[in-house]
Structure 1
Amino acid sequence: MRIALPPTLTLAFLLPATALAQEAADAVAPEAGTGLAVETSAPVTSETWMVAAANPLASEAGAAVLRRGGSAADAMVAVQAVLGLVEPQSSGLGGGAFLVYYDAETGEVTTLDGRETAPIAATPKLFLDDAGEPMGFFDAVVGGLSVGTPGTPMLMEEAHRRWGTLNWRSLFTDAIGHAEEGFPVSLRLSMLVTEDQERLSSSEATAAYFLPNGQPLQKGETLRNPAYGATLRAIAAEGADAFYEGEIAEGVVATVRGAAQPGVLSMDDMEAYTVKERAAVCAPYRGAEVCGMGPPSSGALTVGQILGLLEGFDLAAMGPDSPEAWRLIGDASRLAFADRGRYMADSDFVPVPTAGLVDPAYLAERAELLAGDMALTEVEPGNPPFDHAALHWADDQSLELPSTSHISIVDAAGNALSMTTTIENGFGSRLFAPGGFLLNNELTDFSFRTHDEGVPIANRVEPGKRPRSSMSPTIVMQDGEPVLVVGSPGGSRIIGYVAKTIIAHMDWGMDVQQAVALPHLVNRFGTYDLEAGTSAEALAEPLTELGFEVNVRDLTSGLHVIAVGETLEGGADPRREGMAIGE
């Protein structure tokens, strides 16, 4: 068996905590390497199966399932159940997820949408104050108003129903054991609790769990969550119905409606929730197909657009140290994000030109804008071909801040799974349900404004609608088989993290651990963010000379990647505490 911790994990534990700034410093920045291609440990290799996830206990739970001959779907259930316990700030039963699955038997790529939904009683004015102005972001986040109907438990069950091979009940053994016997609090969880203790104090139940005796959880102390264990026992015995009906659901609804800022979630919302199968969005790149989650996620479309815009440029010849390569990547991202803000939302509620946005002819035309020598002075949405009458939308004005996690798995039969799972902001709504889990604040991924100068915004709140996401679980296919399984947390920067990793592996020939550890440079809306404490800072001056506004800051991804070939190669992000395990 091969196990690898992220290469900087041991040193990272010796470094001081940094400020959160909502998303960046929820882990310690990696060491700077030599040149942009960061020196790092070799990827984990294996012959048969591989799991990569954001916490060692979760990876070990998945490995135990795969060792017993379980499928990738079986292992995901075990991994997610543990993640919801050991990194509750990032994902869990009270949140949602997107899953991309390659079925080796059929050769098909399927996506499952387990995104949270807006309650039936939600209106487009949910986050407007009495004067009709948008609420402050954290004013909207903290409390029940931001909570959507959770989707993760039903997604776990649906994936197992389709692709599971082991007994459902057996998949929760490790998570139940850790919940009832206790697990050691990680440095990352301790740091995050310390940074967010004011908001965590807003709810009595939340404070009791994360701030016992008024003090934040400390690294290394044993934390028990018997309520979570009882919830998992119920789900293991009765399936997801145990979560969406009866005592657990009643506890969720009561918590939302009884919050200081009450929400509108109801038992009807819980009982009506469904997971949706959606067609994968696949975009060509370098002879491969980059496949992921379509709307309500903007992930596959925006990643696909970035790569499609770059298709005609020889990034391989430029290399990862080239300012010109990063000029092209940065402006391709800006162009893609302009389309994202205008057109992408829940396609069950608004028409989305899904095929048109990744149409090679459209992207080739848009790519002509990249032909100059300097950064684009202005970026506007394009006019992708619609397969129906085009509508006029205003640009979205929503924020999307993380906390999220990602799971990549390949099993012995060749099935591959990429799942990004979230409760949105760190610690979600800061509401801790009686069942021992945090509730999401996913509704704040909607645009707070409904219109802009009278023009409707596609991603506005509507009853039953799923908020737009940037989660980008991805499987890269070549000759009908998976070659790369990738995804990351990170809010709307997820898209840049995933695109960069694909480019690093496919254009620059990096192995998956090198690609994951490569310093981040992300440009979404005009400002080029460069990862602090890494050699990316050396590009600040050249990119400024090319006309970009540059900002050096922490960029905390959580990439977990598996390359599939004659052997499996796994990579875990050194910016977090994850682990790849293979055998």
Structure 2
Amino acid sequence: MSRSLTLGLLAPFALTVAGCAATSTLPAKIAPAPAVFDAGMVSAADPRAAEAGAQILRQGGSATDAAIATMLALTVVEPQSSGIGGGGFLLLADEAGNVESWDGRETAPQAATPSRFVDASGQPLPFRTAVVGGRSVGVPGAIALAAKAHAAHGTLSWAALFQPAIKLARDGFVLSRRGHDSLARSAETGAHDPEARAIYYGADGQALPIGTTIRNPELASTMEMLAAKGPDGFYKGELAREIATKVAAETPADGKMTEADVAGFDAKQRPGVCAKYRVYKICSMGPPSSGATTVLATLVQLEGFDLSALGPDSPAAWHLIAESQRLAYADRELFLGDPDFVPVPVDALLDPAYLRRRGALILADRTMTKVVAGLPAPQLARGEGPEEHGTSHFVVIDRQGNAASWTNTIESAFGSGIMVGGFYLNNELTDFSFVPEKDGAIVANRVQGGKRPRSSMAPTLVYGPDGKLLFVVGAAGGATIPVQVTRALIGVLDWKLPVDKALALPVLYSPADTVNVEKGSKLEAMIPALTALGHAVKVAEMPLKTNAVMVVDGHLVGDGDPRSEGVAVAQ
């Protein structure tokens, strides 16, 4: 059963639906427009955060305002996954198809070197060794991103957006089962910092029990300061000094963070990345994220197959999806990185003729023997490494038809384990490839000073054949993010499923030569058929969490992933 929040009260409904009036044509720029929907909507991974965004919509805030309030509230109620100690990517759009793409991805300290995550013998560090402490922390970008987006498209005051989060931090929130399980499962990181232990763990060192009211007065004070001072309160002064000092103290070598690193962070507007899939225009986040290229390539490579006729219960359909993923991820691993440091051939990777050629490699009756990148890259080596798992996605569509699709992350659960000002700092730098070169060729996603690590985040917007906004979606779950988004898109666009059913579809993840099928899903019953087609299949538990809002017959219909606590909240 899907979950919904209406007017701040939890109540079970099939879906959250907001009514709509007659549609209007929006101006060329993203801006307040004539009323389109009777009410806006927010979909987020935690009901308290979704309600925070909905409160802002009720006060007359824009989609951008509500998205910022949601992000701030997630800092309080979902500390394991996201918040102001991390960064992310934001797509802003209007109903007419104008898209803005904002990059708030964290950056490495200027003194960081490509050997940051290798030992004295040149071998990659164990992941946990790399994560916990200062070596993994990038300069957080969430507040800088929020400030630039608000300056461009906010309608309420900056300070007003902080009030729901301040109240949650000061008055407290009830620890959910998911929150408790995260604290218990990831205690090595969650309890690393004494400040964090005092908030989330008992005197016995165990995670506080489900139902405990968690109060975080230090975070409330931080939020109040940021509400008053704006982004300078984060990137300059006492808080910036504390971030740099604490991270440097826990960085054993290779490029300690400085106040200048924190002060120098800049959220950037990037070109939006869009492509046509069948009769739909789909836009997502470009480099340094691999989201757009991976999602769009996977889809367009499948255009030669009638997925609609096959349907979601067909092993043949999932075979085709797995094969297309293999092709898309082969390109992703070789080419994707920070475009400020390495050339990323986005246009070539998404060229329709190129993708048709790639799609022609997919065989309906058997697997491809070997999959490699499809473009020449004599000076690049394939990069590999772990990716973000402490991530959250949230979606807003306001009454005027403007949309925000924002993925925010601190990387692993509880990030680096370092807490400053009541919030955890990310371990985003472990999204870089640990090995900087192979056989004399550099890895595009190697560590460099000031560079942003590659991401899988894929905030996504879909426009229908009429050019009007149709679907806004995104996911959390590391390198599975593109496949979660892709399966939701196929579910809605090819299989014509309602949004809740599309988010409930199982996940198949095939980045290389092994097909991972979601444990406990109906895909397990398809393993014999997939094996007969030549796949090596593994059953896996995956960190899955998708959120979406869709326009259906002039109404907004939203939901959260049934595997999560996610909900959609009507204004």
TM-score (norm. length: structure 2): 0.92
Q: Secondary structure at the match of 1:404?
A: strand
The 8 Å contact of residues 88 and 406 in structure 2, kept in 1 or not, is answered as yes
Alignment of 1:209 onto 2:196: no
Counterpart amino acid of residue 449 in structure 1 = V
Q: Give the structure 1 partner of residue 289 of structure 2.
A: 297
SS in 2 for 1:274: coil
Letter paired with 2:202: P
The alpha-carbon deviation at position 439 of structure 1 amounts to 0.4
- Kept in 2, the 8 Å contact 1:5–1:577? The answer is no
Task: Tell me which residue corresponds to 2:436.
Answer: 450
TM-score, normalised by the number of residues in structure 1? 0.90
Q: Distance in 1 between matches of 2:171 and 2:5?
A: 24
Question: Separation in 1 of the partners of 2:461 and 2:106?
Answer: 23
Q: What letter corresponds to residue 219 of structure 2 in structure 1?
A: Y
Q: 4+ residue runs of structure 1 moved beyond 6 angstroms? A: none
The structure 1 residue matched to 2:446, chosen from 460, 482, 505, is 460
Partner in structure 2 of residue 436 of structure 1: 422
Distance 2:160 2:191 in 1: 36
Q: CA RMSD in A?
A: 1.8
Superposed CA deviations along residues 88-132 of structure 1, whole A, max 9, x for unmatched, are: 01001110010011035x741000000000110101111111112
- The one-letter code of the counterpart of 2:339 is S
Q: 2:129 aligns with which of 128, 136, 139?
A: 139
Deviation at 1:80, TM superposition (A): 0.8
Q: Which residue of 1 aligns with 2:77?
A: 86
For residues 473 and 157 of structure 2, the distance between their equivalents in structure 1, rounded to whole angstroms, comes to 27
CA displacement, residues 46-105 of structure 1 (integer Å, 9 cap, x when unaligned): 12211100111111111111112210001011111110010101001110010011035x
Letter in 2 for 1:477: Y
Residue of structure 2 equivalent to 1:167 = 157
Deviation track 1:126-159 (CA, whole Å, cap 9, x = no partner) reads 1111112111111101100000000001111111
Q: Provide the rounded CA distance (Å) in 1 between the counterparts of 2:390 and 2:60.
A: 32
After TM superposition, the structure 1 stretch with the greater mean CA deviation from structure 2, 528-537 or 416-425, is 528-537
2:413 is aligned, of 426, 434, 451, to 426
Q: Work out whether residues 122 and 461 of structure 1, in 8 Å CA contact, stay in contact via their aligned partners in 2.
A: yes
Unaligned runs of 5+ in 1: 11-39, 385-389
**For 1:118, which of 84, 87, 108 is the aligned residue?**
108
Superposed CA deviations along residues 280-311 of structure 1, whole A, max 9, x for unmatched, are 11111021111011000000010010001001
Aligned to 1:50: 41
| Distance in 1, Cα, partners of 2:345 & 2:418 | 37
Work out the CA distance in 2 between the residues paired with 1:311 and 1:528: 21
Q: How does 1:571-582 map to 2 (within 5 A)?
A: 571-582=559-570
Secondary structure of the structure 2 residue equivalent to 1:310: coil
**Residues 475 and 484, structure 1, Cα contact 8 Å, conserved in 2:** yes
1:343-402 Cα offsets, whole Å, 9 max, x none, are 111111001110010111001111111135111221111017xxxxx6621001222141
Q: Name the amino acid aligned to 1:189.
A: G
Could you tell me how far apart the structure 1 residues matched to 2:559 and 2:174 are? 24
CA distance in 2, matches of 1:260, 1:200: 18
Q: Distance in 1 between matches of 2:251 and 2:202?
A: 21
Match among 499, 507, 516 for residue 512 of structure 1: 499
Indicate whether 1:267 and 2:259 are aligned: yes
Match of residue 144 from structure 2: 154
Whether contact under 8 Å (1:69, 1:412) holds in the other structure is no
Alignment of 1:472-511 (within 5 A): 472-478=458-464, 479-511=466-498
Equivalent pairs counted in the alignment come to 543
Asked if 1 retains the 8 angstrom alpha-carbon contact of 2:431 and 2:455, the reply is yes
> What CA distance in whole angstroms lies between the structure 2 residues aligned with 1:509 and 1:184?
37
Percent same amino acid at aligned positions?
A: 46
Contact 1:309 1:332 in 2 (8 A): yes
Confirm or deny: 8 A CA contact 2:545 2:561 kept in the other structure.
yes
Measure the CA separation in 1 of the matches of 2:16 and 2:193: 42
Q: What SS does the aligned partner of 1:172 have? A: helix
Matches within 5 A, 1:333-348: 333-348=325-340
SS of equivalent residue, structure 2 residue 380: coil
Corresponding position of 1:195: 185
SS in 2 for 1:92: coil
What is the DSSP-based 3-state SS (H/G/I as helix, E as strand, rest coil) of the residue aligned with 2:208?
Answer: coil
Q: Distance in 1 between matches of 2:5 and 2:346?
A: 38
* Structure 1 Cα separation of the partners of residues 355 and 417 of structure 2: 41
User: For residues 41 and 373 of structure 1, do their structure 2 counterparts lie closer, same or farther at Cα, with a shift above 3 Å needed?
Assistant: farther
Hey, what's the Cα distance between the residues in 2 that align with 1:372 and 1:534?
23
Alignment-mate amino acid for residue 61 of structure 1: A
Q: For residue 502 of structure 1, give the secondary structure of its aligned residue in structure 2.
A: helix
| Structure 2 unaligned blocks of 5 or more | 20-38
